[in-house]
Amino acid sequence: MSANKPENVQRITPYLYYEDVAGALDWLSRAFGFREQNRMSGADGSIAHGAMALGDAVIMMGHPGPDYENPKRLGHVTQSLYVVVDDVDKHYEQAKDAGAKIIEEPKDQFYGDRRYGAEDPEGHHWYFAQHLREVAPEE
């Protein structure tokens, strides 16, 4: 790796499409605890692009425009995101209190994580998990 690039750089950044990017920035902050990094206005003055962080991970978002469709436009889920948090039960309560549509209650998983699922206002599915224990492959 080059001397001017850190080894721990995030190599994959999800880019999600939202009809209301400004609303998504505000909602993801309130419900899921993301920190806004930036927002950029489009030609019409509305927010066309934004970036948010949770810990050292970044997500980006933008307005889908005529060539792209998000779950809200399509009417079905196109992907889901799996996000590791420090305290999944506390995170669940925050999301629920902010009005997130809960699609899966917190539950211990066979692979060692405790996880819950939520849907944001534009239909993206988010799974938040806390790693509880190591599980051997033969388990």
Which domains occur in the chain, in start order?
A: 15-64+76-131 (3.10.180.10)
pTM value is: 0.87
Span 9-21, pLDDT tens digits: 778 899 999 999 9
Question: Would the pLDDT of 61 be above 90?
Answer: yes
Span 88-97, pLDDT tens digits: 999 999 999 9
Helix axes 21-32, 88-97, angle to 10 degrees: 130
